[in-house]
Amino acid sequence: PIFACGIHLCNTLGIRAAQLFNENAEVSGFAFVPCCFPTSRHVAQQVVYQLGQHRFAAREFLDPKVVPSNTDRFERWAEHILEGIETNSKGIEHHELHRPTNGMFAQNIYIFAERPLNMQPIQVETRGTCVVVDAKFGHGSKAKKKAQKKKR
């Protein structure tokens, strides 16, 4: 059996680590500490992620109109990752190990998952598929500038 551990996994690297757990039956345990959520540019690019059977859009956790505080955004990001982990034995724990300063938010979320040993091999058509499954690439301001040039 293998136990996978990831600490300070930034951006979509956290989803990749959870994907590793989902796709490999020999990984029986998983401990993961996300560092930060993706940048707000993912909202402008209308990014959609997929982990396991769980699909979610960047706006659901990054848009300040939907989720006003960074602490809440970080919590929602972790909850989405947890939802995509394919096992019944999983959870989030909060451990206050540092005090954020200067407008930073507490990165105090720990995700754990496990599955029974001797599990049948997981049937996966392709391993390591994209976790960003849809996006309008190109920054919003670039698209706006293009549209203005066409009008001229």
Does the pTM of the predicted model rise above 0.75?
Answer: yes
d(CA 47, CA 148): 24
d(CA 69, CA 136): 25
Each residue's pLDDT tens digit in the chain (152 positions)?
789 999 888 889 999 999 999 988 889 999 999 888 888 899 999 999 999 999 999 999 999 999 988 889 999 999 999 999 999 999 999 888 777 677 667 678 999 999 987 666 666 666 778 888 888 875 444 544 555 566 66
Query: What is the helix, strand, coil percentage profile of the chain, to 5?
Result: 30, 25, 45
